[in-house]
Chain A
Amino acid sequence: MSGNSHENHHHVSTAGQLWAVGTALLILTIITVVLAKFVTIPAPFDIITAISIAVVKAGLVAAFFMNLYWDTKFNAMLLLMAVAFFMLMVLITLLDTLYRVDVVPSF
């Protein structure tokens, strides 16, 4: 029984898969630099594009390098919860800082 679960738990990626992910990350890095430096995208879409590409890259690293794609769903949930609580922290902070009448002078 432990033999079976051993097979299920430890996914071994092929070298080809890992190189494909690495290459995809490299290409996305080149795309994000080219878009930022040589293409004029009107604000705020320049930030949105850059962050979207970063999210795709982060997703590739988390899914295939950190093995979440083949891992128990619980670990993926932990990561998503961290992201959710980060966004909650930013949201609540911005509800304050975006709507201040005067920015605190020393800040």
Chain B
Amino acid sequence: MANHSTSHPTHVQHHFVDADQQFDSAKMGMWVFLVNEILFFGGLFCAYIVYRSWYPELFTEAALELNTFWGAVNTVVLIGSSLTVAMAIRSVQKDQIKGLKINLLITIALAIVFMVIKGFEYSHKFHLGIFPGEFYTFEGLEHAKAPIFFSIYYMLTGVHALHVLIGIGLIYWIYRRAVRGDFSSEYYTPVEITGLYWHLVDLIWIFLFPLLYLIE
């Protein structure tokens, strides 16, 4: 125990045994948060499942208003951004800080591409009068419950898009810290944890895409 305090690198807080324990604790904490996130989105997915079981024909009809091509492009964009986050973590693990910074910037760029495409999709729908709930004025769908489909659509994709925006902010923060020289293969916990968050955002979209865009 005598060398316990002297062997501590500066980033290890005094209540942890060593850097590994601190890293594992932080990562487990993030996983507990991700459990929370999954159940948070789970409530929205549950609403989707209930309404689809009640009105299957509504989902087939209304999904035609969604553009499969741009949904697929956004899926590829998010998969690409997950790959660059994984590459960023690999870079920092190998002390390649330049690679870390480049991969983080590509990730931010891909996230912005995702948001721009989502913005065009939303503005096209707003132009048609496809608003959520009582603000819905679109005439093109026969089904009386059509506003409900789009309420679910806007809730699921809107909360997901909010996560993308927060992710952009977090990854930019990680980038600034990387520029400042905070990270090395010895200490990269915030990179790892932000990466986990970003992969979850990708995971949610992996389910949103077939559930919303690919109904025939």
Interface residues of A, Cβ cutoff 8 Å to B: 2, 5-6, 9-10, 12-13, 15, 18-19, 21-22, 25-26, 29, 32-33, 36-37, 43, 46, 50-51, 53-54, 57-58, 61-62, 64-66, 71-72, 74-75, 78-79, 81-83, 85-86, 89-90, 93-94, 97-98, 103, 107
Contacts and interface: CB of A to CB of B under 8 A. Distances in A.
Q: Binding site of B, secondary structure by majority: helix, strand, loop or mixed?
A: helix
Contacts of A26: 76, 79
A71 B200 CA distance: 16
B38 A62 contact: no
B86 A9 contact: no
B214 A65 contact: no
Nearest to B37: A82
A33 B34 contact: no
A12 B28 contact: no
Contacts of A98: 53
A66 B72 contact: no
Contacts of A15: 87, 90
Interface of B: 7, 18-20, 23-24, 27-28, 31-32, 34-35, 38-39, 42-43, 45-46, 49-50, 53-54, 56, 68, 72, 75-76, 79-80, 82-83, 85-87, 90, 93-94, 148, 185, 195-196, 199-200, 202-203, 206-207, 209-211, 214-216
